[in-house]
Chains A and B, each alone.
Chain A
Amino acid sequence: MSKTQVADIDRSIYDFTKSEAGYERYADGLTPDIVRAISKKKDEPEWMLDKRLEALETYQRLVMPKNWGPDISGLDMNHISTYVSPKTKQAKNWDDVPEDIKDTFERLGIPQAERESLAGVGAQYDSEIVYHNMREEMAKQGVVYTTIEDALHSDYEPIVKRYFGKLIPTDDHKFAALHYAVWSGGSFVYVPAGVKLSYPLQSYFRLNAQGAGQFEHTLIVTEDDTDLHFIEGCSAPKYYAANLHAGAVEIYVGNHAHMRYSTIENWSKNMYNLNTKRVTVGDDSKMEWVSGSFGSHVSYLYPTSIMAGDRSSVEFTGITFAGQNQDLDTGCKVVLQGSGTTASVETKSISKDGGINTFRSSVVIGKHADNARATVSCQSLMLDDISRSDTIPAMDVRNKSAQVGHEATIGRISDDTILYLMSRGCTEEEARTMVVNGFANPVSKELPLEYAVEMNNLIKLEMEGAIG
């Protein structure tokens, strides 16, 4: 696969000076002027700027909850603007990239140019052949796959305006508000009615300019009778020195449609990952989430599905692997509003080397969700006695014909299983890796083959403790 070099990132967008007026109120450095500068550089419509400014106010007002969730005191909230500035967000050159990141690239066999790009030191690239062929196919069918910034300057601006920011409210939580104030980069996908894509769209091939992996906003809109599979991320770790990721994904699914959103998130182990993903689904449609969470120091990640229409279903399959120095609070939320809606959640958690894994979910069944069905199954595997695994599922059911089943188990790999595998020639480490891969199988089998292979490799590396 040949790669082409694309123009260097224009980093000057973030070279701004501190604001004068009302400085005290913005002691953390994130002022309306900065927000205005971002908007101006992108040449955004007025409504987008208004949204940013409103979000900034909301951000100042909101506080993070004190009674639950991983500790984020490592984030320098007093200098939040530094997270926004690209000068500090990425390494200056290859030497500055941490050794363990470089090691992982090596072990995963990532080509050098890609490594540099992932680490943010090289220029952006995209994979020419695959990506450009994709573009031609899509253009024929009327599918749009571009950046939101580009979409705002195209005929699709009204669609963006109609959907952007309407699903995840600005005040969803403090970092959603921050996101809306400073978002940058991300994909806009539009699938017109009747179009069924026979291949997945992969965001990996669109590592965008503006180096804005941290605050990217993905907006996907599919009309009736469509079929789309969108794959985000990859197993290779993404490294940022300014270690905050507050992204957002909004997905709108029409009627009689099928949507699958697959992710492998592997942020570098210094990252604070507060990611917000949400989908709303029409009638008679099917939504699938496949999610593998491996990296980051702290994660808050709960893809949310709102089954607004009738007779639609959502399936969530996920795995979270928390190793040394990681505190991952992940899960999902499901809201069943329409009648005949169903939800099926299957998650796996693995905790190792002092890692902390919290499965946090909610299933809310509304008053009018007649005959709604939800099943949640959550299994946690403890690989040693210094790690943690907590399961905190909540259910709120308000319709008497709804049925909800829930089961959770926590335990360890049984000695019998290890013994059995060793008696067949495996070393103890191989045996444990095999069991863990088997444990992860329900997730990996939902991924396209190359991602499944990558995920298995990641697990192998994690098990070896090779990843720092």
Chain B
Amino acid sequence: MSEHKIKKGTIATKTASRSTIAHINVPPSQTWNYLRVNDISFDVPTPDAKGKVFAAVPRLFDAIETGGGTPLAHWIAEASGDGNYVEVPRFTSKGNPIVIEVGPGAASNTAIMVREGATANIVVVATAHEQEIPEASTPSDTSAALTRIFVEKNAHVKLTEVVATDESTQHLENVGIHVEDGATVDVRQYALGGSKVAYGIAVDLAGERSRFNLVMRYHVSGTSTLDVNHLCRQQGPHTRAEIYASGVLADSAHKALRETIDLVHGGKDSKGNEAETVLVTGDDVVNKTLPVILCDEEDVQGNHGATIGSISQEQLDYLATRGLSEQAAESLFVRAIFDDAIINAPESLSRNAAVARASLVLGSDVSHDLVEGLGIELTDERSAHAAQEREA
């Protein structure tokens, strides 16, 4: 199966100047400012785009709201150079994933039009450095991807985002999706590493009977920061949204998760659910959550649930009867995040990135265990070689 790979741009080569993007990941309804959970700002390289003309994406995509917000979208567009436009023709379902890959120092701006009745499989991968570790405050310490998708009626989109950078890189992941009648969008997000990562997604369920499912898994350790904004506007009648985030916070991780379900007037018989579970294993973790439901319409249902802290007693007891102490159970939960990413990675780039990151976090024995145990092929030579060594 051949993949459709997207061009990326280099953020900046000549200049060492930096700028600040403020107000990233701002939710539509905010809380008290002293809690410092209303947004996040990033210190980023200033793109050297002066005097250059780049291919822009079609205007209509600029109107699509993104989770990271407009200031961020502008910066990524500038940093990416040429924008990419991809169209998936009506009623096609080739199954070739559209692959957007960025490494340290690269940015990508992609607009995807999924025509009526089509099926599209889209993958965004943020990889770690290959050889050299990027220096802090140089352009190669940042990667970014802006992906905006217009989903026409009855189309189906599957989006997988794998952020597998390491502690030397910060990453900005910004998505906006517009969904028309009867179309469905399934998103899986993996936050597996990165010194500071912003993950923003906004989905507009404009069409009736449109659906959005989002599952996010994250593992934050060391002194890393993960900042997330999930937003779903349920405008059309009979829409459905399910947002679920779960992860593990270790060491001195910092995490802020904002989830907003907006049940807009006119969206009759819409239902939105958000849920979060967090396992905290670190002594110096800062864990912030802002789960919001906005409601302007009577005939709707909005639900939210969050469980923060440790593994439930019921689960612990069950796992204990299979031989797992509480600590072993925690390790299993961490491993599960990476296994889940590897299982759900639709193609080799994302899979390799997840395996590479898993090797760093869990050790290569564990990281390759799933791959071999399930007979998944890795096209990366290094991994295949390492696998052979283990069999010997």
Contacts and interface: CB of A to CB of B under 8 A. Distances in A.
Tell me if chains A and B make direct contact, with any CB pair below 8 A.
yes
Interface of A: 65, 67-68, 360, 362, 364, 367, 380, 382-398, 400-412
Contacts of A65: 32-33
B301 interface: yes
Contacts of B291: 393, 406, 408
Contacts of A382: 295, 297-298, 300
Contact of B289 (A389, A395, A398): A395
A67 to B, nearest CB: 5
A124 B286 CA distance: 52
Given A68-B30, A391-B304, A398 B285 contact: yes
Contacts of B285: 397-398, 400
Given A396-B288, A397-B308, A410-B302, 15 more contacts: A362-B32, A362-B35, A367-B284, A382-B295, A389-B295, A394-B289, A395-B287, A397-B288, A402-B280, A402-B308, A403-B309, A404-B308, A409-B303, A411-B302, A412-B298
A453 to B, nearest CB: 29
A357 B39 CA distance: 24
B296 interface: yes
A382 B290 CA distance: 22
Contact of B282 (A67, A400, A403, A410): A400
The 10 A-B pairs of least Cβ separation, nearest first, read: A403-B309, A385-B298, A410-B302, A404-B308, A406-B306, A400-B280, A408-B304, A395-B289, A397-B287, A382-B298
Nearest to B297: A385
B293 A391 contact: yes
A391 B295 CA distance: 8
Contacts of B281: 400
B283 interface: yes
Given A385-B298, A397-B280, A410-B293, A392 B29 contact: yes
B97 to A, nearest CB: 36
A68 B31 contact: yes
Given A67-B33, A68-B32, A411 B300 contact: yes
Contacts of A394: 31-32, 35, 37, 288-290
B373 interface: no
Nearest to A393: B291
Given A390-B29, A397-B280, A407 B305 contact: yes
A245 B307 CA distance: 38
Contact of B295 (A388, A401, A406): A388
Nearest to A381: B298
A398 B286 contact: yes
Nearest to B299: A412
B19 interface: no
A396 B31 CA distance: 12
Contacts of B241: none
Contacts of B29: 68, 390, 392
A95 B291 CA distance: 48
DSSP majority for the A interface? strand
Contacts of A387: 298
B386 interface: no
A396 B35 contact: yes
Contacts of A408: 291, 293, 302-305
B76 interface: no
13 contacts: A65-B33, A68-B30, A68-B31, A68-B33, A380-B293, A383-B298, A389-B295, A392-B31, A397-B286, A400-B280, A402-B308, A407-B303, A412-B299
Contacts of B301: 409-411
B117 to A, nearest CB: 32
Contacts of A404: 306-309
A445 B296 CA distance: 29
A402 B298 contact: no
Residue from B32, B296, B300 having most chain A Cβ neighbours under 10 A? B32
Nearest to A412: B298
Contacts of A386: 265
Contacts of B37: 394, 396
A404 B302 CA distance: 20
B38 interface: yes
Nearest to A374: B308
A416 to B, nearest CB: 13
Interface in B20-47: 29-33, 35, 37-38
Nearest to B258: A394
A409 B302 contact: yes
B337 interface: no
Given A383-B298, A395-B306, A403-B309, A67 B292 contact: no
A385 B302 contact: no
B294 interface: yes
A201 B329 CA distance: 52
Given A390-B295, A397-B280, A407 B286 contact: no
A395 B308 contact: yes
A389 B33 CA distance: 21
Contact of A407 (B31, B33, B268, B304): B304
A385 B309 CA distance: 37
A410 B296 contact: no
Contacts of A398: 284-287
A200 to B, nearest CB: 32
B263 interface: yes
B310 interface: yes
A384 B298 CA distance: 5
B292 A390 contact: yes
B27 to A, nearest CB: 9
A412 B271 CA distance: 12
Nearest to B38: A67
Nearest to B250: A400
A273 B295 CA distance: 23
A360 B308 CA distance: 19
A396 B33 contact: no
Contact of A392 (B286, B287, B290): B290
Interface string B318-352: 00000000000000000000000000000000000
A407 B289 CA distance: 13
Contacts of B306: 395, 404-407
Contacts of A391: 292-294, 302, 304
A400 B280 CA distance: 5
Nearest to B279: A400
Contacts of A400: 280-283, 285, 309-310
A395 B303 CA distance: 17
Contacts of A411: 300-302
A410 B300 contact: yes
Given A67-B33, A404-B306, A407-B304, A385 B299 contact: yes
A391 B32 CA distance: 13
B391 to A, nearest CB: 39
Interface string B249-277: 00000000000000101001000000000
Contacts of B293: 380, 390-391, 408, 410
B295 A410 contact: yes
Nearest to A373: B309
A200 B282 CA distance: 45
Contact of B294 (A383, A390, A407, A412): A390
Interface in B45-99: none
Q: Which of A360, A394, A398, A412 has the most CB of B within 10 A?
A: A394
B288 A403 contact: no
